[in-house]
Amino acid sequence: MTAPIRIAVIGLGKIAHDQHLPAIARSHQFDLVATVDRAGVSEGPTPFFPSIEALIASGIAVDAVAICTPPQVRHDIAQTALEQGWHVLLEKPPGATIAEVVALREAAQERKVTLFTAWHSRFAPAVEAAGAWLKGREMTRAKITWREDVRIWHPGQDWIWAPGGFGVFDPGINGLSIATSILPSPMFVVSSQLSFPANLCAPIAAQVSCRDRSGAPIELDFDFLQEGPQHWDIEVETTSGTLVLSKGGAELSVSEGALGEHDTRGEDLVGEYPGLYRRFAALVRAGVSEVDVSPMRLVADAFLRARIVQVEEFHE
């Protein structure tokens, strides 16, 4: 395939409007041919449909879809797309459960189409350099801090508090997606404390203790009620220096000096989604999939090892 990939975006929430649609519009690799949302509205002259079934019935030629719905409904939509022979990009987290994502991976393999679990934070400007610096080094300690204000970043998104919505792990999994791609060895959950508001079904804060294969401690500090400065930081101590990856992967420094400073993460998550779509195009053209559930496994293990604490009700 050398012509632009004809893509439809399914789910027109905040992340689709802020990131997916602009990234597709700027890419010469893709041609937006349709949008789909059960409650949304048309994006200009682009054909709009209320469901994937209506898109299929229209007969519009589609090569791929980017699914940006809440994770609770993503599996069935993705399965339908795969059955059409369409390549599929799954916004993070790629499903409500690991089993759903594994089943989709098997379906994509059977139909010989691409499935891409799109961990966008891995495409932040400084992540690749951080991984290169850490390669071959011995880690002694790490801390992942993901503290943000849910009222700013997820306004009106009730799905995030429902079962399968991940709560504070929806942003926290971004940090885990970076950590699982750059740390020298796998990490395992030892214990966790999850704080659930009395009126909700997902945690608003999480304190998780992990370790790597050699026993080096890794602490996770996730909070959805951060006021003032927001924190998306990973600090890794090694036997030969300390690395700090800050602003969601936009800035990197080590103990002997800065390796490079880039645009801050900001509201537009500078640079992540163009890189994400370059990767998706490369996978589609190569005819291969990239399905990684390691960040989801850590979230699931945090729930398995959790001490649940009930805290005061949360209301926007």
Do residues 199 and 313 make contact, with C-beta atoms less than 8 angstroms apart?
yes
* Helix, strand, coil shares, percent, the chain, to 5: 35, 30, 35
Residue 135 falls in the annotated catalytic set: no
Query: Measured between alpha carbons, how far is 34 from 284 in angstroms, rounded to an integer?
Result: 19
In the set 14, 92, 135, 247, the catalytic residue is 92
Q: Are strands 187-197 and 205-212 parallel, antiparallel or unpaired?
A: antiparallel
The end-to-end CA distance of the chain, in Å, is 47
Structure tokens, 294: 């390691």
Q: Are strands 217-223 and 205-212 parallel, antiparallel or unpaired?
A: antiparallel
Query: Measured between alpha carbons, how far is 178 from 165 in angstroms, rounded to an integer?
Result: 20
Query: Measured between alpha carbons, how far is 156 from 316 in angstroms, rounded to an integer?
Result: 8
Tell which phi-psi region holds residue 41, choosing left (phi > 0), alpha (psi between -120 and 50) or beta: beta
Residue 232, Cβ density class (10 Å: 0-12 exposed, 13-18 middle, ≥19 buried): buried
Query: Hey, which residues are catalytic here?
Result: 92
